[in-house]
Structure 1
Amino acid sequence: MTPSHSHGRTRMLTVTAVATLLALTAACSSKAKDDGEGDKQSAGGIKTGTGITGKTINLGVLTDMTGVYATLGKSVTQAQQLYVKQFNAAGGACGYKAKLTVRDHGYDPQKAVAGYTELAPDVLGFPQFLGSPFVAAVKNRIGQDKALVLPQAWSAHLLGSPYVRVIGSTYDIETINAIDFLMKEKGLKKGDKLGHVYFEGDYGENALQGSQYMAKEAGLTVVEQKIKPTDNDMTAQVSALKKAGVKGVVISAGPRQAASLVGVAAAAKLNAPIIGNNSAYSPQLLGTQAAPALLKNYWVASPSLPIGGDTPEAKKLVADYKKAYPKDSLDNGVVAGWTAAAVFGEALKKACEGKDLTREGVDKALLSLSDFENGFGVTQDFSDPKAPSSHESVILQPDKSAVGGMKVVRQPSESEEAKGFAPKVS
């Protein structure tokens, strides 16, 4: 799912284009902040500030509706719009109703930073900011603005700020748990070689840190295959992994690369189990020629139960989403979007209890959420900004008959190796 898939080309764009853009927009941003009214006290004794107009809580959404992650961005955004509709119908927070302002950055670094610059002076925070490289590019500004950002990205490089909170396990921890599954359930053992195909950039390289750590702990040897997001044919990678004699493979890339890897491996008779990070699958793959191989020899590590999870909350979300968006398919982007909106909503309610709906009040409220669970199997702890909110992963398997195209094969769990691992915080 998500995509801190900056990866090389986008990352280079980020470094150059974003640096220039930051210099041009910094003055504008600080001017907007200086011109603000500052904190106010409402008639009901609720402290308010930036992002509150009248009885409306203005929130920003920076997403991808037209670029490489358009399908994901649409699911995440629609789920959040559904949440806000229900949040408001239930009374909002202290009578204040939430309003989302959506900007499509098309997974373009300049548009992403421009979108942040436009919305930051006028919103309380961001329940969605899709794309790790773009969040990282404005991380310092987010710290100055103190507007809470919940990224649709799972890179450990985003940890460390009380205003940028990763929801769920980061890619490094997710990879450790994925390899634990291969060792406990799929025959990978000490002394074996493990292939790792990964995107260059934040996402893939953060996942690689996990496999390198697990290799040391479990006595494995990692055979690395770095790829670019423009590499869609995994024939060369499969050939190299087969020659090396790998007994298992991790893929930290996009759905298209995963489908090629699994399909080519089946044709080449590379009989090694393959597991992907949460961003390396979409149910649309089951409509391609790679479907038989995916159904037989592919698994995915996820930060939560899937949209088809067997819980009352998951079933209600499926029914509500189908009713709101009858023409759109269900996928785990719906879960990710709903969860992030629900976390933000819970922080708003907590801030309301403390009579402080300022940015600082909402950030403080989130720090008090140490046992958030919304029916998708994983309890989230937001009390430590230097740690992901969870170390658990759910192992899923493609399944045509399951809602959202995925079934659970291992319930939420944290491997012993993950318990001893500390992500590298930038």
Structure 2
Amino acid sequence: MTIRTSLIVGLAVVTLAAAGCGGKSGNASGRTGDDGVKAGPGVTTDKITVGALTDLTGVYASLGKSLTQSQRLYYDQLNAAGGVCGREIELLVRDHGYDVQKGVSAYTEIAPKVVGISQVIGSPIVSAVLPRLAEDEMLVIPAAWPSSLLDQEYVQIVGGTYDIEMINGIDFLLERKGLEKGDRIGHIYFEGEYGENALAGSRYAAGKAGLTLVEQKIKPTDTDMTAQVTALKSAGVTAILLSAGPKQAASLAGVAAAGGFAVPIVANNPGYTPQLLGTPAAGALEKNFYLVNEFQAPNSNAPGMKALTSAYKAKYPGQTLDNGVSFGYVAAKVFGEALKDACAAKDLTRKGILKAHRAETAFDSGGIAAPLDFSKVGQVGTRQSFIQRPDAKAEGGLVTVGEPLTSQLATGYPIP
């Protein structure tokens, strides 16, 4: 995290704390309706309101759009099946444009109105609202995967974490791409929580495998990877890890190919979007680029993925099937299943929903992701990853390489 971002987050937390002094928006005194169901904020006799703090106008606007559309799809399906406890689910969406202060303001506005939040894009936004989550007793699912959030009782990471992804990525390079003990491997990463958490994983795996890691820190505003490619080529690396965004992925692959530097590139899941296959870097990406992901590619034969792909295309014809679609849908289903279990226990308070969620030890997404264990605060729900590569002919521009991967390195990794 940069000094500037740290200051913004700090100011946002102070602002948020001040805004919270006027009264708690948490469970307060739960009320019991005529149906015998205890209810709290965001729950009426006929409606349950779930929040979404997304990015529709900022740097992750395409991801935010896909996430929000897939979550609306899930809640529409849930409502068509009768809702939860006879109540319709409503998704209350606010766009923060990936601006911390806007995110804090949006949280302050919707917190009294929602039962929980099934989407928050951005680690900085999540960090800024953390002080209120324990007070509000509200389950939140971030579209961010740093291991630092694992010990937060009210925050649920759905999938693996950035460090686990990089560990499995290095194992893939060792097993499938000829990487050997004594080799040098590069890692280009964003400054801040995302990149530094991924770096923790690559450092661990490199140390265990006897590799030398050559680190290249960049800012999100750095979109030309020429200097980094030059440095890594001079260092003699035989593979490159990337923990950055799609623009950096396109530049890295294109610059390396143009310079005759044909080494495999392995990126974390936020580092690719199928729109890159419409750029000049498409050929280089299809040849040497790999993505570590916790969710099946859209062309997967997994029953849940096939059903999701069909339903999404029917509801949003012509829209891109990217990683946001699968993650958004699974995250909404995680929240929906917690609501259904809380309904069965006749407790739709925020505490009741969290309790129901934390009892889940093998969440089934129909094969879109590995079974997920949400019962252990401080532990990752899965250490399994899919290795995927770009393919312009495939649905969603991705195909999976081999079987799902849970490396011995990842299994033995102690979560920091």
Given candidates 55, 65, 87, the residue that maps to 2:46 is 55
Contact 1:14 1:137 in 2 (8 A): no
Q: Structure 1: which amino acid aligns with 2:396?
A: G
- Structure 2 letter corresponding to 1:79: S
Offset at residue 161 of structure 1 (A): 1.3
Paired position in structure 2 for 1:347? 338
Q: How far off its partner does 1:33 sit?
A: 2.2
Q: Distance in 2 between matches of 1:271 and 1:395?
A: 19
Give me the CA root mean square deviation.
1.4
Partner of 2:117: 126
Tell me the equivalent position of 1:291.
282
The answer to whether the 8 Å contact 2:27/2:350 transfers is no
* TM-score computed with the length of structure 1 as normaliser: 0.95
Matches within 5 A, 1:410-421: 410-421=402-413
Task: Note the 1:368-407 alignment, pairs <5 A.
Answer: 368-375=359-366, 376-407=368-399
CA contact (8 A) 2:12 2:128 kept: no
SS of structure 2 residue aligned to 1:392: coil
- Asked if 1:107 corresponds to 2:112, the answer is no
Question: Is 205-214 or 373-382 further displaced after alignment?
Answer: 373-382
Shift of 1:28: 3.3
| 1:128-183 deviations in Å (ceiling 9; x for gaps) | 01101110122121122110000000111111012101011100001000010001
1:336 to 327, 331, 350: 327
For structure 2, the 5+ residue unaligned runs are none
Counterpart position of 1:311: 302
- What does the per-residue CA deviation read over 1:299-319, in whole Å, with 9 as the maximum and x for residues that have no partner? 000012122221222122111
Contact 1:93 1:349 (8 Å CA) reproduced: yes
| Equivalent pair of 1:14/1:134 in contact (CA under 8 Å) | no
State the Cα distance separating 1:74 from its structure 2 match: 0.1
> Are the counterparts in 2 of residues 174 and 301 from structure 1 also a CA contact under 8 Å?
yes
Alpha-carbon distance between aligned partners in 2 of 1:35 and 1:147, rounded to the nearest angstrom: 7
Question: Hey, what does 2:161 align to over in structure 1?
Answer: 170
Of 301-310 and 98-107, more deviation after overlay is shown by: 301-310
Contact 2:295 2:323 in 1 (8 A): no
Name the CA distance, whole Å, in 1 between partners of 2:111 and 2:145: 22
How many equivalent pairs are there?
Answer: 415
Q: Distance in 1 between matches of 2:14 and 2:194?
A: 26
The 1:365–1:269 alpha-carbon spacing in structure 2 relative to 1, beyond 3 Å, is same
Distance 2:16 2:149 in 1: 22
Structure 1 segments unaligned to the other structure (5+ residues): 1-6
Match of 1:320, SS state, is helix
Contact 1:393 1:413 in 2 (8 A): yes
- Aligned with 1:66 (options 57, 82, 86): 57
> Structure 1 residues 42, 236: CA separation in 2 closer, same or farther (over 3 Å shift)?
same
What is the Cα deviation at residue 25 of structure 1?
A: 3.6
Give CA-to-partner distance per residue, 1:387-411, whole Å, 9 cap, x none. 1211110000101111100001032
1:143 pairs with one of 110, 117, 134: 134
CA deviations over 1:63-83 (Å, ceiling 9, x no partner) = 000000000000000000111
TM-score (normalised: structure 2): 0.97
- CA–CA separation in structure 2 for the residues paired with 1:153 and 1:415: 22
% identical aligned pairs: 51
